[in-house]
């Protein structure tokens, strides 16, 4: 059963061409980073916020210009930590359909090569057409799945940064 699944995957990659390896690597990286952000929010975020807020709460005064600068620095550092790998996730989401288009171009080159060498033989052109369509489909599916994951991460990041800013009060 596991061997059948492996064989089906290998055949699918052969039909789609080597670009599918790149799409698979980028998709794996993208989802690893999405799960890393989920892990961060589930396990590390609260402790980080408590430590960062403690730095602010330990200040004797919070109204001067220098206190405002310290607050801005704390917020900026926290926003960077909370955001984490989100820009890289968004880059992977954008990169997947572009890699699919690269597969389309290489597949069309195969079609044109088959037409030039064999005079438009439909059977030889079919392999190139599948090499042109499968990577496009895979790139779009990978991108859409990553878009869903990155949207959840982006919303959580925006909400947590806003909450963090609100928690650093300026009283005293």
- The helix/strand/coil state of 1 is coil
Grade residue 97 by pLDDT with cuts at 50, 70 and 90: very high
Q: Cβ neighbours of residue 124 under 8 Å, at least 6 residues apart? A: 114, 117, 118
Interval 69-89: pLDDT, tens: 999 999 999 999 999 999 999
pLDDT of 120 reads: 67
Predicted TM-score (pTM) of this structure? 0.85
Q: How many CA atoms lie within 13 A of 50 on its CB side?
A: 5
Mean residue pLDDT of the chain comes to: 90
Whether the pLDDT of residue 171 is over 70: the answer is no
Residues contacting residue 1 through CB under 8 Å, at least 6 positions apart = none
Residue 31 tokens read as: 């989802």
Instruction: Evaluate the CA torsion angle 159, 141, 90, 26 in order and state its sign.
Output: positive
pLDDT of residue 123: 72
With 0-12 CB in 10 A as exposed, 13-18 as middle and 19+ as buried, what is 49?
A: middle
pLDDT of 100 above 60: yes
Distance in angstroms (rounded) separating the CA atoms of residues 167 and 58: 14
Which residue has tokens 């390896």? Answer: 21
* Distance of alpha carbon 52 from the chain centroid: 27
H/E element holding 21? helix 19-39
């Amino acid at each position: 059963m596991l061997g059948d699944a492996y064989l089906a995957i290998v055949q699918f990659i052969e039909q789609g061409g080597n670009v599918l390896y790149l799409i698979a690597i980028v998709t794996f990286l993208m989802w690893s980073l999405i799960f890393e952000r989920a892990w961060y929010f589930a396990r590390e975020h609260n402790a980080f916020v408590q430590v960062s807020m403690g730095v602010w709460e330990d200040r004797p005064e919070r109204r001067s210009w220098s206190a405002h600068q310290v607050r801005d620095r704390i917020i900026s550092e926290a926003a960077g930590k909370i955001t984490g790998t989100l820009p890289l996730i968004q880059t992977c989401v954008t990169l997947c359909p572009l890699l699919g288009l690269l597969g389309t171009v290489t597949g069309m080159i195969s079609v044109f090569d088959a037409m030039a060498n064999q005079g438009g033989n439909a059977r030889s052109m079919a392999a190139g057409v599948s090499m042109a369509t499968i990577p496009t489909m895979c790139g779009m599916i990978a991108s859409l799945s990553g878009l869903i994951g990155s949207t959840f991460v982006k919303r959580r990041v925006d909400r947590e940064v806003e909450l963090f800013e609100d928690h650093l009060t300026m009283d005293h």
